[in-house]
Amino acid sequence: MLPLIDKPLIQYAVEETRAAGIENIVFVSSPGKPMLNDYFRTNVWLENELSSKNKTDELRVIRDVSLSPKSFWITYQTEALGLGHAIWTAKEFVKDKPFAVLLPDDFIHSDRSAIGQMIEAHATIGGNMVATVDVGREAISAYGCLDVEARAGRCLSASGVVEKPAKEKAPSTHAVIGRYILQPSVLDRLSTIRPGAGGEIQLTDAIAADMVSNDLWGYEFEGTRYDCGSQAGYLEATVAVAIDHKELAPSLYRNLALKAGFGVAA
């Protein structure tokens, strides 16, 4: 729910899924946090109040946020046992089709939905697909790392994936970041794998185990990824969104110019 200018990060993720044509969303949350349901459910009283006062712009914003009760569900991770375990808690909603995973703290600023780009590529090549960014040798130990074999455009064929390798042992500098398209068999792997790095159930371990059944692909999306789980990444994302905001951009540029010591006309 961390706000990025005028919307929380989770809303940007929802808008990304909607732009990709995804209709059903499962949120993984923790007990005692009702804000997700309160934020996305339809507020009939507020909509009627805005409508009666002819506040059409505000009404449009509220309706854009609201999700149909039949299109979203919330499941709870009662213990912090890792990303893999969090995904596993949503298994009853997935059934037998490939599913997308988005981690909202990885904000992707792009003209095209990042997960939508991946869905288009996945329709052709199948398998399991992860979004990837080249983060360099010094940073790779903080990420899952792809062992890249070959490239076909934006798609990278991988022979494996390693969670948080030492930088000197990392098979590449291609990090796995928070967008995935996974086969339902990955959920079966999550049911049986042991805790990995950090003593947690790692999603990358399940993806690696699933390579006996499905190919693994990395996808280099169009757009810029910001790690909003860090202060620097959150600040960079805020500036990137502000630059695109027609009401905020002039003030941002003016203040940056003043800080840099340049004169700016009023």
Residue-wise pLDDT for 5-23, tens only, equals 989 999 999 999 999 999 9
Could you tell me the pLDDT band of residue 113, with boundaries at 50, 70 and 90?
Answer: very high
> Do residues 121 and 160 both lie within one domain?
yes
> Do residues 71 and 202 both lie within one domain?
yes
The pTM is what? 0.88
Phi, psi of 191 (to 5 degrees): -75, -20
Q: What is the dihedral of CA 85, 93, 213, 218, to 10 degrees?
A: -70
252 vs 71: which has the higher pLDDT: 71
| CA-closest candidate to residue 144, choices 191, 97, 200, 185 | 200
Q: What is the dihedral of CA 111, 115, 121, 124, to 10 degrees?
A: -140
- pLDDT, one tens digit per residue, over 30-78 is 887 778 888 888 777 788 888 888 888 878 877 778 888 888 999 999 9
Q: Which domain holds residue 249?
A: 230-266
Contact present, 100 and 221 (Cβ < 8 Å)? no
Could you tell me the pLDDT band of residue 157, with boundaries at 50, 70 and 90?
Answer: very high
Instruction: Return the CATH number at 150.
Output: 3.90.550.10
> Do residues 252 and 124 both lie within one domain?
no
Structural domains of the chain, count: 2
> Do residues 11 and 98 both lie within one domain?
yes
